[in-house]
Amino acid sequence: MKIIRQPAEMTAWSKHRSREGQSIGFVPTMGFFHEGHLALMRMAEQQADRVVVSLFVNPSQFGPNEDLSAYPRDFERDSQMARDVGVDVLFAPESGDMYPPESKTTVTVADLTDNLCGADRPGHFTGVATVVSKLFNIVRPDLAVFGQKDFQQLAVIRRMTRDLNMGVDIIGHPIVREKDGLAMSSRNTYLDAPLRRSALSLSGAIQQVCTLAVEGERSVQRLNAAVEAFITSFPETGIDYISFINKDSLQQVTTVDRDTVVALAVKIGNRVRLIDNGFVFQD
């Protein structure tokens, strides 16, 4: 596996592969890999001739109350994990090369970023859209794989790519879960045993919604009340949001159907904020 740090070198590598007729699959990450990240890499490997993974903790998507320096990092561990799954290039640029002092341009996707995580994290999705557009321009992939756990992010990237005619095929990978149902996240490392049990309230709430819907419940008001009661029955849980949204517009709905996604953000203890989601009707 080749490690590239300079954007110009990364672009030159990609251009050379394209001239050889090889397709490039891309997985953007902020590192501290877990099995969820590796699943995205394996999917990219199945879909493309070559796989590039970026490792860049993007400062522009952190808010003023979010500690960029506290984000977990382990470059040597991440490098070995990427190498073991067959990644061709690990692109790990420096912040100064991604955001030179003279940078004046950002990318904003309207409407899709107004609610859910966007409501509590102003500017977050502008940071996400900007860095992903820059990475697409540098890596020049044919396709990119994103996890469906960040459902709003996936919708934003799909819209940006379509609106700006970027020509990158965006593939969503299903949520990868631990054996107990907890959605995989780098933040899970902060959970001790009692907090982990409380974290299972998210996946448990989604399953409860699915059960109630199959039994005939369609009212978002009643489903929301059931979810809130379920989550708050676990110790040290604080609900940021419970949202029933249309899968494409991300707008709130009042009755559920097969296009409805229930999306959750819950604080576990004082430090860990987890997100999860699922279709109300799971075929």
Which residues are annotated as catalytic?
A: 37
The CA distances from residue 213 to 97, 167, 186, 208, in Å, are 49, 38, 31, 9
The type of residue at 179 is K
Whose CA is closest to 54, among 148, 125, 142, 131? 131
- Residue 200 one-letter amino acid: L
**Helix/strand/coil for 244:** strand
Alpha carbons 129 and 122: distance in angstroms, whole number = 13
User: Under a CB-based contact definition with an 8 Å cutoff, are residues 272 and 280 in contact?
Assistant: no
Cβ proximity of 58 and 128 under 8 Å: yes
Nearest to 167 by CA among 16, 26, 19: 26
| CA–CA dist 210, 155 (Å, integer) | 22
